[in-house]
Structure 1
Amino acid sequence: MGVSRIDNVLMLLSTSTKFTDKQEDAVLPQIMSGFRDCCFAAGTQVRGGQTTRNPWVLLGGCATSVLPKNEFVLPNGAKAGDLLVLTKPLGTQIAVNLNQWLDDQDMDKLKATGMNEDEIRKGYDAATVSMMTLNREASSLMRKYKAHAATDVTGFGILGHAQNLVKCQEDELDFVIDKLPILEKIASADDGMGRMFQLVKGYSAETSGGLLLAIDPIEAAKYITDLKAANGHDIWIIGKVTAGSRKAKIVHEVQIIDVTLNENEKLVSN
């Protein structure tokens, strides 16, 4: 919604019941320090929170902001002729899972992917850079270039979020997706696993995913230029908005764009 100012963050941290006191003393301050540094990068501070115990280490937070109505973008103003822009590549969940399976030496699961160890590690590194990239600049530029609608891409996958977004538009529209920027080799890995994650179908969850915007074509070009100048990563036009019946779809012959991490640790089309 174009909100780039965060007034307050509460940190939610769960330490592992498996940690010894010594491990807790070593690990938790580092986790809290990293979280605090990320909040500083986002222009805010941690002002409280809660710590619990759990079998696994968990880290999250709650961010709040209070601002006038004219300082955020309502998500319902897409127009026929708008372009659909995606600010981060897809495939993070699969890349993280493959890396975890490699750490666990679960070779039965990995065999079907057709990926070797080096490819899996590179995919994980690219996913990590994507997840670490804040949506702050992408959100701020939405206001500058008057995006008509937007959503983040997280748990429902690219198509799931596109479907949710198109349903709330004032006009009767369709969102037509004809390109999918995906971390290199991750789409073929999912194919090899019988499309377990439904990545190309658009339903694979993303962690810290990018923004999906509906924006005027002229403004889209300016938005992409400015966002790439700000963070160095590629941004993609992945489809268009047409008159329709409030449906989102991925075309049958969708183009897969391979995305890799270059020598400068920037996400770029291969």
Structure 2
Amino acid sequence: MQNEIEFCKGGGCTAKLGPEILSSVLDKLPTRKDANLLVGFDRSDDAAVYRLADNLAIVQTLDFFPPMIDDPYIFGQIAAANALSDIYAMGGEVKVALNIVCFPEKMDLNILGKIMQGGNEKVDEAGGILAGGHSINGEGVKYGLSVTGIIDPNKIYKNNGCQEGDLLLLTKPLGVGIVCTAHRVGKSSKEAINLAIESMTTLNKYAAEIIQKYDVHACTDVTGFSLLGHLNEMIGNNFGADLDSLQIPYIPEALHYANEFFITAAAQKNRNHLASKVEFFNIPFALEEILFDPQTSGGLLISLPPEHAKKALHEIEKLGLPCSIVGRVTKKHNNIIVR
């Protein structure tokens, strides 16, 4: 089908600019000081937070990308779930969303309708309202959301508040980028792509509601910069991390597909960017690739005290997706060890 061939050429969070390129640009931008801007782009966090009152702040984010799957309705769901995730990663509550659309006028408009239907349903599931948006005519399809939520400014989950001894909890499996790459060339199993779709369309809302009961020190969602890239942002220059390779949750077939080199250029950018910050001990190449794999609508990576992490994991396991405590925060500065 001609429209499907044009529709899906590879996308999702694999389409993100590499972290090194992005930081080289953002570092040059001037910033205006405002005491009410509690979180801005200078912190590489998931969303901006602006205080309106002592007990009220808004959380704002924006995310869009090309299709990584050839079903427009499912693509709309995934793109929306991915954009909404940043609100949950900060500990916020979704309120309003706006569509962002790039779509070729020559393409069947029913496809656009299915994309937006999928997106709208996820906004509705999140408890938010889709209030409009903006569209342009372009060569390739791109879709996403600008999302506004609310949060208590005293209860923000920042991505860099972890503490030595914390356990690291990951709420979804890795490998969706690798599986989608294999699927695009007709090499993935039905089981693998279905698990990837289930993971990408599942809102992080449900895991976020669970962790609100516990003492969260830091939280981020795992997307285009991979588990290792987002973990590197989390530990910053003050801590290190020790990961247990046997506890990493991933889509089982992703290991085979990585061995067959169904990998992305974005994963190699992640590898190059983190080359001096990650040490592997007896880890097979395929698992390294899974750890560098850009995730679309990935899970939450949460840093909690050990007793809280274990209790939270027990509850999150009931949501049905592979999840695990993948490691711990250490005092060794700016270094990730994978054993």
Using the size of structure 2 for normalisation, the TM-score is: 0.62
Please give the per-residue CA displacement for 1:153-203, whole angstroms capped at 9, x wherever unaligned: 1111111111111006xxx32111113222112122212328664663322
Report matched runs for 1:109-128 at 5 Å: 119-128=188-197
Report the equivalent of 2:73: none
Q: Which residue of 1 aligns with 2:287?
A: 200
1:133 equivalent to 2:202? Answer yes
> Residue 264 of structure 1 corresponds to which residue in structure 2?
none
Task: Give the match for residue 3 of structure 1.
Answer: 91
Code of the aligned partner of 2:287: V
Distance across 2 between alignment mates of 1:248 and 1:203: 13
5 Å-filtered alignment, 1:50-199, equals 50-102=134-186, 119-167=188-236, 172-179=238-245, 180-193=248-261, 197=267
Match of 1:71, SS state, is coil
Q: Contact (CA 8 Å) 2:172, 2:199: kept in 1 or not? A: yes
Distance 1:226 1:48 in 2: 36
Amino acid at match of 1:161: H
Specify every segment of 5 or more residues in structure 1 that has no aligned partner in the other structure, as ranges: 103-116, 252-270
In structure 2, the CA distance between the partners of 1:194 and 1:101, relative to structure 1 (3 Å rule), is: closer
Tell me which amino acid in the other structure corresponds to 1:81.
G
Find the counterpart in structure 2 of residue 12 from structure 1: 100
Runs of 4 or more consecutive aligned structure 1 residues displaced over 4 Å after TM superposition: 194-199
Identical residues among aligned pairs (%): 28
Q: Choose from 328, 333, 338 the match for 1:240.
A: 328
How far the C-alpha of 1:72 sits from its partner, in A, is 2.0
Alignment of 1:227 with 2:313, yes or no, is: no
The aligned counterpart of 1:256 is none
CA distance in 1, matches of 2:258, 2:148: 36
The reply to whether residue 48 of structure 1 matches residue 116 of structure 2 is no
SS at match of 2:321: coil
Write the distance in 2 (CA, Å) between the matches of 1:247 and 1:65: 34
Output the amino acid matched with 2:228. L
Shift in Å at residue 14 of structure 1?
2.2
Distance 1:150 1:63 in 2: 18
Q: Distance in 2 between matches of 1:81 and 1:67?
A: 27
For the aligned residues, what is the CA RMSD? 2.0
Q: CA deviation at 1:246?
A: 2.5
User: Structure 1 CA distance, aligned partners of 2:208 and 2:119?
Assistant: 20
3-state SS of 2:94 partner: coil
Secondary structure of the structure 1 residue equivalent to 2:135: strand
Show structure 2 runs of 5+ residues with no match.
Answer: 1-88, 269-285
- Say which is worse superposed, 150-159 or 67-76, in terms of deviation: 67-76
Tell whether the 8 Å contact from 1:17 to 1:56 is kept in structure 2 after alignment.
no
Give the letter for the 1:187 counterpart: L
Q: Is the 8 A contact 2:161 2:234 kept in 1?
A: no
* TM-score using structure 1 length: 0.77
Q: Residues 228, 194 of structure 1: CA spacing in aligned structure 2 closer, same or farther, 3 A cutoff?
A: closer
The 3-state SS of whatever aligns with 1:81 is coil
- Asked whether the 8 Å contact 1:73–1:143 carries over to 2, the reply is no
Distance 1:4 1:125 in 2: 29
Letter of the 1:32 counterpart: M
Counterpart CA distance in 1 for 2:134 and 2:184 is 28
Flag the structure with higher strand content: 1
Shift of the 194–205 alpha-carbon distance from structure 1 to 2, 3 Å rule, reads closer
Matched letter for residue 250 of structure 2: I
Structure 2 distance, partners of 1:87, 1:228, is 8
Question: Aligned equivalents of 1:34 and 1:188: distance in 2?
Answer: 31
